[in-house]
Amino acid sequence: MLKSIFKYFQHDQKNSNNQVAENPPAQPLPIPSPNSSSIDGYAYIENNKLVVVDPKNYGFYATVIVPDDDRLEFRIDGKKTIGEVVVSELYQIDVVTRGREPSTKRFTRVSEDKLSVSAIVQIETGSSVMLSNSRPSLQTELVIEEYAEEREVEPVSPYAILTLLKEQNFHGEIDYSAIHRLCQLSTSGEEVVLRGIAPSQGEPDHLNQINLPVEKDDELRLTHPSLITAGTIIVDQQLGKEGTPGRDVYGFEIPASQNVKPLTLGQGVIRVNTHIVAAKNGRLIFSKQRIDVVSECVVDHDVTSADGKIVFDGNVIVKGSVLDGAHIHATESVIVYGDVFHSTIYAEQDVIVARTIHNSKVWAGNLKTIYSDLSPLLLRMISGLEKLKEEYLLMKSHVLKRYDAHAVLPKISSVLLEKRHVDLLDDLEFFVKEYQNHLSIDREYQSLSELLCTKWKEVQLTPLLEEDIQNLLSKMKDYHDRIVKITPGISVIRVSNAISSYLNSYGNIFITDKGCFSSNLESKKAIAIRGSLRGGFATAYHAVSVGELGNSYGMESSVRVTSLSGMIKIALRHSNTLVELCGKRDRCYSEENNLYLRGDTINDQNPVSRRLS
């Protein structure tokens, strides 16, 4: 490039010199004009060597273009050079080309499940590098040519692979035949050469339910197992196999996966040899999670407040209605064949009401719902008690220095509670009052509540010492640990209609007839209302399905689903109603048919979800 520019200048100069005779330039050119008999120098490559010939009579020196390549080393007087350089016979020019030696690389790869190790052999053949021969020229570009060499690559020895495995401290069964195969390869290759031990999965117990008679209830459209007596074999159990743990290639144990759902045997059954047998008379409960026999209390007449508070460990079945301030609390299900008026029902399992619930409160799966509400309060009280204890100890250390320590010491806790821990005092009072009805079957709660009522209620009158604070604190902690571990059962509320009532279920809620009026429905799963939802609120985690939301007079009604993959389905939606799906809200000002919203399809393309704000 440089040379051609000079050539251009030279040619241009010659032309201008010719023109000088006719039109002499205003200023003479600084470069002396070369002799017309000048001979340019040149260079060329021959047998991988650079030959340089210098110019004569002020001709140009030859240049060489050296590429930037690791395979070539170009030195002029010992100095490494790249790019276009001027060369001369007088220079000490060394041109060295480097080929590639043949090589073999060995490494290992562990599988994702850490159960096998592959050895990888990468064979690279060698090559020789030469400069291409070129013609003598003023400008010579060095061109590198690479020739593959068919040289014999030394085979990988089995010992090298075994050493590699040993160095990396792998454990397991070595596959010698795979190593042998790998060592015979003339090209690159990979083989699994070491294997860990995969865990073997256990087999669950197989439960064969003995065919017991079932009862059909046409009124409630229910089919359930008949009542059974103590000693009845419920299940013939074939014991499964325990899984065996495996070991990965690093030598660590892989536990055997037990694909077995935890099965709870209730207190109403016992294991006799390979049988599960009813331990008492009652109704059989047989589900995937639980086998039990529960007692059943059947009330043949209407239940009223005159019957007192019914707290029963088992099912409560009311053949009539539940009236006027009655209170039923069952550890299993509650079934009412009539209506429920102005009453309260708690059930740990299902609540089924054949007719209508009026002005009542109903909880299904009550304990889990209550415990999930109670947990933050307990944590707050635990933290409050810890702080109280800390301050008590600080004050105690101050008080002990005083002459009247014996008189002041018993007052410390009451002073602290009244002056600095009013919120804790408030929470303790709330804990006792708020959950008394809900947790009437929870003995631990009752004992805690009793302790608070006797020892902590009148803080001014009863001296509370360090051990009292510590005692309550440890009891609260134990109680909290227990309630967070409770696993909920499947609980359902199924009623025909609900009017001015509150329904809360840990499972689904089904309203099977005309619908709900001025009621509040809360479900941790789904709510399905066949008829209409007018007034009040419905809140569910997964889904709400309503036949008709609101009414033609614009009665305010609203529905909320909180899950991100939740669903809302409304056949007829009237004005002045609101739906909220995963925090996005849509208020309706005109009638609308067949509204269907899904949380995971909320996007700008969906015309309905576009409205959600």
Partner 1 sequence: MIKILLVDDYPETLEALSQLYELHSNVKIGGCALNGAELFKILEKDNTFDIISIDIQLGKENGLQLCEEIYQKYPNSFILMCSLEASEANQKEAIRAGASYFLAKPISSTSIRKVIEVYKATRMKRAFPEQFDHWVDDLLIK
Using DSSP's 3-state secondary structure scheme, residue 95 falls into: strand
Are 295 and 313 spatial neighbours (Cβ–Cβ below 8 Å)? yes
> What is the spatial distance between Cα 220 and Cα 354, in angstroms, rounded to a whole number?
6
Comparing CB distances to partner 1, the nearer of 283 and 361 is 361
What number of other Cβ atoms are within 10 A of residue 282's Cβ?
21
Q: Cα angle at 538 between 533 and 539, to 5 degrees?
A: 160
> What is the spatial distance between Cα 478 and Cα 501, in angstroms, rounded to a whole number?
35
> What is the spatial distance between Cα 296 and Cα 8, in angstroms, rounded to a whole number?
114
Closest approach of partner 1 to the CB of residue 362, in Å: 12
> What is the spatial distance between Cα 88 and Cα 43, in angstroms, rounded to a whole number?
9
- Which residues partner with 195 through β-bridges? 116, 173
Name the DSSP letter for residue 3.
Answer: H
Give me the amino acid identity at 143.
V
Q: Cα angle at 213 between 211 and 217, to 5 degrees?
A: 135
CA nearest neighbour of 505 among 333, 281, 317:
333
How would you class 75 by CB atoms within 10 Å of its CB: exposed for 0-12, middle for 13-18, buried for 19 or more? Answer: middle
> What is the spatial distance between Cα 566 and Cα 609, in angstroms, rounded to a whole number?
13
> What is the spatial distance between Cα 546 and Cα 498, in angstroms, rounded to a whole number?
14
Burial 514-536 (b: 16+ CB within 10 A, else e): bbbbebbbbbbbbbbbbbbbbbb
Please provide the DSSP assignment of 525-575 as one string: SEEEEEEEEEEEEEEESSEEEEEEES-TT---EEEEE-STT-EEEEEEE-S
What Rg, from alpha-carbon coordinates, does the chain have?
46
Closest approach of partner 1 to the CB of residue 311, in Å: 18
CA nearest neighbour of 287 among 372, 335, 350:
350
Measuring CA to CA, how many Å separate 308 from each of 323, 324, 327, 331?
12, 11, 7, 17
For 358, what's the count of Cα atoms within 13 Å in the CB-facing half-sphere?
11
Give me the amino acid identity at 229.
T
Binding residues for partner 1, rule: CB under 8 A, are 361, 373, 394-395, 398-399, 402, 408, 415-416, 419-420, 422-423, 426, 430, 433-434, 436, 500-502, 504, 517-520, 522, 534-539, 555-556, 558-560, 576, 578, 580, 585, 587, 613
> In terms of C-beta distances under 8 Å and separation of at least 24 residues, what long-range contacts does 150-153 make, across chains too?
150/125, 151/102, 151/125, 151/126, 153/102, 153/104, 153/123, 153/125, 153/186
User: Which backbone phi and psi does 305 adopt, to 5 degrees?
Assistant: -65, -20
> What is the spatial distance between Cα 379 and Cα 407, in angstroms, rounded to a whole number?
33
Indicate the helix (H) or strand (E) that contains 112.
none
Burial 19-52 (b: 16+ CB within 10 A, else e): eeeeeeeeeeeeeeebeeeeebbbbbbeeeebbb
Contacts of 493 (CB under 8 A, 6+ apart): 350, 351, 352, 362, 364, 503, 505, 507, 508, 509, 510, 523
